[in-house]
Structure 1
Amino acid sequence: METSHSRLYGTFARCASISYCYAPWILLAALLIAVASVVYISRNLGMNTDTTDMLSEHLPFRVNSIHYNKTFPQEMDILLLVLNAPTPEQAYSAADHLAARLKKDTKNFTDIYPPNVDVFFERNGLLYESVSELEHITDRLAAAQPLIARIAENPTLHTFTSVLTGAVEELSKGRNLELEPVFKGVSETLNAQLAGKPRALSWQTLFRGEPQKSSYQEMIIVKPKPDYTQLFPGEQAIAAVYAAAKDIGLTDDGPIQLRITGDVALADDELRSSLSGMEFAGIITFVLVGIVLYFAMRTIRLALAVLLCLTLGLLLTAAFATAAIGQLNVISIAFAVLYIGLGADFAIHFLLRYREVLESGLLTTDAMYKAGGEAGSALAACTIANAIGFYAFIPTSYSGVAELGIISGTGMLISLLVTFILGPALLRYLSERSIPDSGVKGSLGKMLELSLKWRKLTYVSIFVLLLIAIALLPQVRFDYNLLNMQDPKGKAVQTFRELLASPEHSPWHAIVLTKDQEETRQLTERLAELPGVSKIVTMLDFVPTEQEVKLSAIEEMALIIGPVILSMPEPSTDKQMVVQQLEALDALNAALDRYIKEYPESSLSESALTLKTSLEALFVRLEGANFSDKEKLLHSIDEDLLSTLPAAIQRLRTSIEAVPFSEQELPESLSGRWRSQAGEYRIAVYPSEDIGDNEALTQFVRSVQQIAPQATGMPVVSLEAGEAVVEAFVHAFSLALAGVTVALLILLRSIKYTVLVLIPLLLSSVFTGVFTVLLNIPFNFANIIALPLLLGLGIDSSLHMVYRSLDKKQVSEILIHTSTARAIFYSALTALVDFASLMFSSHKGTASMGALLTVGLTLTLICTLVILPALLRIPAQHAKS
Structure 2
Amino acid sequence: MEAPHSYTYRAFARCARFSYHYAPWILFAAFLIAIASTIYVVRNLGMNTDTTDMLSEHLPFRVNSMHYNKTFPQEMDILLLVLDAPTPEQAYSAAGQLAARLKEDPKNFIDVYAPNVDVFFERNGLLYENISELERITDRLAEAQPLIARIADNPSLHTFASVLTGAIKELSKGRNLELGPVLKSMSDTLDAQLAGKPQQLSWQTLFRGEPQKNSYQEIILVKPRPDYSQLFASEQAISAVYTAARDIGLTEDGPIQLRVTGDMALADDELKSSLSGMEYAGIITLVLVGIVLYFAMRSIGMALAVLLCLTLGLLLTAAFATAAIGQLNVISIAFAVLYIGLGADFAIHFLLRYREVLENGQISTEAMYKAGGEAGSALAACTIANAIGFYAFIPTSYSGVAELGIISGTGMLISLLVTFIIGPALLRYLSKRSIPEAGIKGSLGKVLEFSLKWHKLTYAAIFVLLLIAIALLPRVRFDYNLLNMQDPKGKAVQTFRELLAFPEHSPWHAIVLTKNREEARQLKERLAELPEVGKIITFLDFVPTEQEEKLSAIEEMALIIGPLLLSLPEPPTDKQMVMQQLEELDALSTALDLYIKEHPESSLSDSARALKTSLAKLFSRLDRMNFSDKEKLLHSIEEDLLYTLPIAIQRLRTSVEATPFSEQDLPGSLSRRWLSHTGEYRIAVYPSEDIGDNEALARFVRAVQQIAPHATGMPVVSLEAGEAVVEAFIQAFSLALIGITVALLILLRSIKYTLLVLIPLLLSSVFTGVFTVLLNIPFNFANIIALPLLLGLGIDSSLHMVHRSLDNKQESEILIHTSTARAIFYSALTALVDFASLMFSPHKGTASMGALLTVGLTFTLICTLIILPALLRIPAQYAKS
> Offset of 1:284 from its aligned partner?
2.2
8 A contact 1:299–1:435 mirrored in 2: no
Aligned to 2:160: 160
Q: Distance in 1 between matches of 2:569 and 2:436?
A: 92
> What is the letter of the counterpart of residue 243 of structure 1?
T
Range with bigger deviation, 428-437 or 331-340: 428-437
1:19 alignment counterpart: 19
**1:801-820 alignment to 2 at 5 Å?**
801-820=801-820
Q: How does 1:773-788 map to 2 (within 5 A)?
A: 773-788=773-788
**Where do 1:121-520 residues align within 5 Å?**
121-435=121-435, 437=437, 439-520=439-520
SS for the counterpart of 1:249 is coil
Q: CA deviation at 1:216?
A: 0.2
1:613 aligns with 2:610: no
Q: Secondary structure at the match of 2:83?
A: strand
Q: Which position in structure 2 is the counterpart of 1:743?
A: 743
Letter in 1 for 2:537: V
Aligned to 1:361, what secondary structure does the other structure show?
A: coil
Aligned 8 A contact 2:355 2:434 in 1: no
Hey, what does 1:855 align to over in structure 2?
855
Instruction: Call closer, same or farther: CA 1:417–1:211 in 2, change over 3 Å.
Output: same
Q: Is the 8 A contact 2:358 2:434 kept in 1?
A: no
1:808, CA displacement in angstroms?
2.9
> Could you say what secondary structure the match of 2:197 adopts?
coil
**Structural mapping, 1:749-764, within 5 Å:** 749-764=749-764
Three-state SS of the structure 2 residue aligned to 1:564 is coil
Paired AA for residue 867 in structure 1:
I
Q: CA deviation at 1:282?
A: 1.4
Residues 8 and 470 of structure 1, relative CA distance in 2, 3 Å threshold? same
Q: Is the 8 A contact 2:2 2:9 kept in 1?
A: no
Q: Counterpart in 1 of 2:828?
A: 828
Alignment of 1:33-182 (within 5 A): 33-182=33-182
- More off after superposition, 814-823 vs 567-576: 567-576
- SS of equivalent to 2:132: helix
**Helix, strand or coil: the match of 1:155?**
coil
CA RMSD of aligned residues (A): 0.9
Say which SS state the counterpart of residue 116 (structure 2) adopts.
Answer: coil
1:510 touches 1:716 (CA, 8 Å); kept in 2? yes
SS in structure 2 at match of 1:112: strand
| Structure 2 counterpart of 1:625 | 625
Alpha-carbon offset, residue 277 of structure 1: 4.5
Shift of 1:573: 4.8
Aligned-residue offset at 1:2 = 3.3
Question: 1: distance between equivalents of 2:270 and 2:573?
Answer: 53
**Take 2:843 and 2:571, find their aligned partners in 1: how far apart are those partners?**
53
After TM superposition, give the deviation of residue 788 of structure 1 in Å: 0.5
C-alpha spacing 1:536/1:573, structure 2 compared with 1 (3 Å): farther
> 1:615-648: CA deviations, max 9, x gaps?
1111111111111111100000000000000000
Deviations along 1:53-108, whole A, 9 cap, x unmatched? 00000000000000000000000000100000000000000000000000000110
What percentage of residue pairs aligned between the two structures are identical?
A: 85
Cα distance in 2 for residues equivalent to 1:521 and 1:186: 47
Give unmatched runs, 5+ long, in structure 1.
none
**Residues 270, 486 of structure 1: 8 Å contact kept:** yes
The one-character-per-residue Cα deviations of 1:420-473 (angstroms, maximum 9, x if unpaired) are: 000000000011112462722100000000000000000000000000001000
Secondary structure class of the residue paired with 2:117? coil
CA contact (8 A) 1:298 1:438 kept: no
> Is the alpha carbon distance of 1:308 and 1:520 closer, same or farther for their aligned partners in structure 2, counting shifts above 3 Å?
same
Q: C-alpha offsets along residues 405-427 of structure 1, whole Å, 9 cap, x if unaligned? A: 00000000000000000000000
TM-score computed with the length of structure 1 as normaliser: 0.99
Alignment of 1:785-796 (within 5 A): 785-796=785-796
Residue by residue over 1:289-337, the C-alpha shift from the partner in whole angstroms, topping out at 9 and shown as x without a partner, is 0010000001110000000000000000000000000000000000000
Paired residue type of 1:731: Q
Deviation for aligned residue 1:6? 0.8
Residue 572 of structure 1: how far off its partner (Å):
4.7
Equivalent-residue separation in structure 2 for 1:879 and 1:540 (angstroms): 81
Determine the structure 1 residue equivalent to 2:638: 638
**What number of residue pairs does the alignment pair up?**
881
Deviates more, 1:871-880 or 1:780-789: 871-880
In structure 2, C-alpha distance between the alignment counterparts of 1:550 and 1:179, rounded to whole Å:
27
Residue identity opposite 2:861 in structure 1 = L
Alpha-carbon distance change, 283 to 3 in structure 1, aligned in 2, over 3 angstroms: farther
- State the Cα deviation string for residues 252-283 of structure 1 (Å, max 9, x = none): 00000000001110000001111124334312
Distance in 1 of aligned mates of 2:170 and 2:103: 50
Question: Counterparts of 1:670 and 1:443 in 2: how far apart (Å)?
Answer: 74
Distance 1:548 1:4 in 2: 95
Kindly state the Cα deviation for residue 25 of structure 1 after the two structures are TM-superposed. Answer: 0.3
CA distance in structure 2 between the partners assigned to 1:704 and 1:225 by the alignment: 32
Q: Secondary structure of the equivalent of 1:672? A: helix
Task: Give the TM-score, by structure 2 length.
Answer: 0.99
User: Is it true that 1:595 corresponds to 2:595 in the alignment?
Assistant: yes
SS at match of 2:534: strand
Deviations 1:138-191 (A, max 9, x none): 111111111111000000000000000100011101111111111111111111
Kindly indicate whether residue 697 of structure 2 is the aligned counterpart of residue 687 of structure 1: no
Which residue in 1 is equivalent to 2:840? 840
The DSSP-based 3-state class of the residue aligned with 1:536 is strand
Per the alignment, residue 540 of structure 2 pairs with 540
* Cα distance in 2 between the residues matched to 1:9 and 1:572: 104
Provide structure 2 residue ranges, at least 5 long, that are not aligned to the other structure: none
* In structure 1, C-alpha distance between the alignment counterparts of 2:710 and 2:737, rounded to whole Å: 35
Distance in 1 of aligned mates of 2:280 and 2:824: 26
Instruction: Give secondary structure in 2 for the equivalent of 1:439.
Output: helix
Mapped partners of 1:696, 1:175: distance in 2: 53
Paired residue secondary structure (2:683): strand
Distance 1:569 1:145 in 2: 19
Q: Shift of the alpha carbon at 1:607?
A: 1.0
Aligned equivalents of 2:706 and 2:301: distance in 1? 65
